[in-house]
Amino acid sequence: MVRFENVGLRYGLGPEILRDLSFLIPAHSFQFLTGPSGAGKTSLLRLLFLSLRPTRGLVNLFGQDVSLLGKDQVADLRKRIGIVLQDFRLLDHMTTYENVALPFRVMGREESSYRREVIDLLRWVGLGERMDALPPILSGGEKQRAAIARAVISRPQLLLADEPTGSVDPTLGRRLLRLFIELNRSGTAVVIATHDITLMDQYEARRLVLHQGRLHIYE
């Protein structure tokens, strides 16, 4: 599904922050991406999400060399990827329900065709009573759950999550991890970037460890 070969990344003329990354993310796989703060976890997720292009090396996503893709093809590929960012990126003028339903609107689906699905997921993540609330009045944890719900609602083939349980209590963190595991069992490859050891200890999965710009894989 994802193949990196000797990938390097630098910002501008600065030093290379990711060096010689070569790895595979198979379909239906589950992995934690970890490493100390500033190790480049978010940059690697952005490479996987095609919002950054590598300085060197080959990135192959869903069988396509990303360096050859046009803007429309990138947009099509992104429809197959869900992403949860640390800053949530919810739209403040839309309700929680509308934020979560956004991927379906972009796909051009009728509201009636996904209404039940969105409401069920919002209840699952504990936002059943906050469906009509606007993001500015949601707590950090609620925003995070809304962002997760938006990322998984369209059942992407690849889910990327950057510190997805950083703002929630341990009980809710376990519930969200269960959501990711369920999503993985239904066929989605999952990459969770975290430095939360407790979270990683709750589920036996492959670990990709970034250290000083290099990647070490523990199967």
Pair 193, 162: CB distance under 8 Å: yes
The one among 65, 76, 129, 169 contacting other proteins by CB under 8 A: 76
Q: Which of residues 93-112 bind other proteins (CB under 8 A)?
A: 93-95, 97-98, 101-103, 105-107, 111-112
Dihedral angle, C-alpha 130, 133, 135, 136, nearest 10 °: -120
**Tokens 């197959």 correspond to what residue?**
80
Minimum gap (Å) between residue 170 Cβ and other proteins:
21
Q: Based on CB atoms, which residue is closest to other proteins, 87 or 204?
A: 87
Backbone angles phi, psi at 207, to 5 degrees: -120, 130
Which of 23, 22, 9, 33 shows the shortest CA–CA distance to 159?
33
Dihedral angle, C-alpha 210, 199, 161, 148, nearest 10 °: -170
Q: Based on CB atoms, which residue is closest to other proteins, 18 or 179?
A: 179
Minimum gap (Å) between residue 40 Cβ and other proteins:
20
Please report the DSSP string for 42-86 in residue order.
HHHHHHHTTSS--SEEEEEETTEEGGG--HHHHHHHHTTEEEE-T
By the rule CB under 8 A, 53 interacts with other proteins: no
By the rule CB under 8 A, 26 interacts with other proteins: no
By the rule CB under 8 A, 169 interacts with other proteins: no
By the rule CB under 8 A, 78 interacts with other proteins: yes
Where along the sequence are the contacts to other proteins (CB under 8 A)? 49, 51, 71-72, 75-81, 83, 85, 89-91, 93-95, 97-98, 101-103, 105-107, 111-112, 115-117, 119-121, 123-124, 128, 150, 152-153, 155, 157, 179, 182-183, 185-188
